[in-house]
């Protein structure tokens, strides 16, 4: 099963002389490091622009595991939603729909 990561890249740190043209567009080689222990901001991945041996590393970004927020989780059965209206799609018994007042 795959893992989803969310991250950011600082475009101003990219060495544009290391970009190259490919058949499908402009490309950049990167190195991604997975860190088992997250940093102080919760980041598990470090992203660098690839350099030649002996050149200084160019750190361009980081990423962290995606963890859904509470509001991203599915609503419980018959839980009320914004506006005070019932969530009809959560009803499992079609007979319940016949008891609606409209």
| Domains of the chain by residue range | 5-67
> Tens of pLDDT along 81-95?
555 545 445 545 556
CA atoms within 13 A on the CB side of 67: 6
- Whether the pTM exceeds 0.75: the reply is no
Is residue 61 a contact partner of residue 7, using CB atoms and an 8 Å limit? yes
Give the pLDDT of residue 55: 93
């Amino acid at each position: 099963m795959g893992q989803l990561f969310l991250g950011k890249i600082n475009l101003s740190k990219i060495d544009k002389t290391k970009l190259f043209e490919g058949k499908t567009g402009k490309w950049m080689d990167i190195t991604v490091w997975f860190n088992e222990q997250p940093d102080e901001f919760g980041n598990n991945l470090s992203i660098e622009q690839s350099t030649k041996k002996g050149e200084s590393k160019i750190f361009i970004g980081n990423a962290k595991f995606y963890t859904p927020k509470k509001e991203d989780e599915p609503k419980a059965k018959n839980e009320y939603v914004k506006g005070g209206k019932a969530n009809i799609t959560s009803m499992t018994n079609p007979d319940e729909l016949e008891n609606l007042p409209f």
